[in-house]
Amino acid sequence: MFRHPHVVLATFAPVPKNSIQDFILHQDDDFILLNKPSGIATLEDRNDPQNMLTLIRQVEPRAQVGHRLDKDTSGVLVVARHPEAYRHISMQFEKRLVTKTYHAVADGLHRLEQVLVERAILVQKDATVRLAAGGKPAQTIFQTLETYRFHTLLECKPVTGRMHQIRVHAAFLQAPLSGDAQYGGKPIYLSQLKSGFKLKKQAEEEPLMKRMALHAYSIEFEHFNGNKAEFIAPYPKDFRALVNQLQRQTR
């Protein structure tokens, strides 16, 4: 969803219809905005030959991604269609002029009002991170959007862009992201929410969401014409289903 219709967009050669077409939120001469699905890496992954950059380069050979999302994180991803556009967006990320907003479901009830977490992050050899004074500075702002019986929908705005930043900062607030076992989050089961829930005989209950509950909801940056443009990525099916279920059990 493109939220600033006053921004004038140039004509462009449309991306041909194929698998990447389903993910496109917006495109113009300079940028393609994608709603990345979970389960696919942004860049090349040794364990999986398919990634978002490879898919987009099938139709846009010069494409470069302006940033990256974790493999299990869904949401809005900026792709530059040519080198000048890549330099344009990269400079804004470097100067922290890009506003990124994530939505996340966290374990527990939390009433956060623009809470700023400033804790340095150190990357470990096992590809996880921890909070450590010797790490790189990191800042995230948290805001409660909705509270449910046992969970909270959070808005998370990373000021910096460190690895696993939102996840480890949320855990620091004792609000680990649901389903994020790496940093203390627990899966959500319908049996936990719904009284009288009965599982079919010999069936094994599966969590309502089979990944961590984190979605890159929107991104705002300056286009070449000098106007700010904000793009919104609607919730994917699994995230929307989880939020709907939490809302129903709260009513």
- Report the largest interatomic distance among the alpha carbons of the chain, rounded to a whole angstrom: 61
Identify each DSSP E strand in the chain by its residue range. Answer: 24-27, 31-36, 64-65, 74-80, 99-107, 115-118, 121-123, 129-131, 139-147, 151-158, 214-222, 228-232
- Cβ proximity of 165 and 140 under 8 Å: yes
Helix, strand, or coil here: 82?
coil
CA 233 to each of CA 44, 73, 229, 239: distance values in angstroms, whole numbers, following the listed order: 23, 12, 13, 12
DSSP 74: E
Catalytic residue among 28, 30, 70, 180: 70
- Cβ proximity of 7 and 200 under 8 Å: no
29 is catalytic: no
Catalytic residues: 70
